């Protein structure tokens, strides 16, 4: 599950199935990032099917975590590698700048 913004400012939530046995499959794409709206769309998928989901990769925004918690209650949430790398690089940049200006 990922949040995407286009150059014109439109934001979308995109849900894909990255099952190794299947090609990546688009499950849902909604032109909003509001949790309630996304949850409504995902709840159109029968609970029995949603319970089959074992793991969801997501960014660190609170609304996506809420969407996953309410729509796929039995899954493991995994933070996207890009998000973790960005956090680490941002922290390193703060330290680098701090030390750069020390005499």
Q: Predicted confidence band at 26 (pLDDT cuts at 50, 70, 90)?
A: confident
Q: Show me where the domains of the chain are located.
A: 2-100
Task: Please give the pLDDT value at position 88.
Answer: 92
Alpha-carbon gap, residue 7 to 11, rounded angstroms: 9
- Per the DSSP assignment, residues forming a β-bridge with 12 are 4
Neighbours of 4 (CB within 10 A): 11
The pLDDT > 70 percentage for the chain reads 95
**Which has the higher per-residue pLDDT, 25 or 92?**
92
CA–CA gap between residue 103 and residue 94 (Å, rounded): 17
Burial group, residue 42, by CB count within 10 angstroms (0-12, 13-18, 19+): buried
Put simply, whether the predicted model's pTM sits higher than 0.85 gets the answer no
- What confidence tier does 22 reach under pLDDT thresholds 50, 70, 90? low
């Amino acid at each position: 599950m990922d949040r995407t913004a286009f150059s014109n400012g439109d934001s979308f939530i995109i849900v894909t199935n990255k099952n190794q046995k299947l090609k990546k499959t688009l499950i849902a794409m909604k032109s909003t990032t509001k949790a309630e709206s996304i949850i409504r769309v995902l709840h159109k998928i029968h609970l029995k099917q949603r319970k089959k989901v074992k793991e969801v990769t997501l960014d660190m925004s609170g609304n996506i975590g809420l969407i996953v918690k309410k729509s796929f209650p039995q899954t493991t949430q995994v933070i996207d590698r890009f998000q973790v790398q960005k956090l680490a690089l941002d922290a390193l940049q703060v330290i680098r700048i701090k030390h750069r200006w020390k005499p």
